[in-house]
Amino acid sequence: MPVIDKEHAVHVSTEKLIRVTRGGAKFELDVNLKNDSNRNLVSAENCFLSYHMSGLEGKYNKFEHPRFNIELENGQSGVAKIIDFAPLEKGRYNLQLDIVIEGVEWYSACGWEAQCVELIVEQDGIVKNPNVEYWVKHQAEVDYKLNEKLKE
């Protein structure tokens, strides 16, 4: 990945493909980061990992997604975890990883070339009504947390 300046010298590596069986399913992605920049990439300084998603069939395009903590001072390497939900519709999607400093900049807008990951959703989710989509995602998160507690 070409780096345009020392402020944006962050290197990313991760899987190239995520596959989920049903729309709305939870997915997790470990993102390896190496911070060679002259900045600290820490959530306390409003710096986060995020991603943009577009449908490869042209149906879906969303610029911003949730923020995920990065805790890397300059010179450090580490792993950030993205945990989110796939779109409800079956299809192929492109996730463009990006770093954001809230209220200041998106790294991709400064010429930083982020890694892309393909997400394949094999079947439509149960709910097609966008008014219900939030509830389904929220309920899935509650169920996931409950299952994690039961494992303890």
pLDDT in tens, 51-67: 999 998 777 788 888 99
Contact 52, 100 (CB under 8 A): no
Mean residue pLDDT of the chain comes to 84
pLDDT of 92 reads: 94
Ranges under pLDDT 50 in the chain: 1, 3
pLDDT of 100 reads: 94
Report helix, strand or coil for 131: helix
pLDDT of 136 reads: 59
pLDDT of 121 reads: 94
pLDDT of 3 reads: 46
pLDDT of 113 reads: 85
Contact 81, 33 (CB under 8 A): no
pLDDT of 142 reads: 61
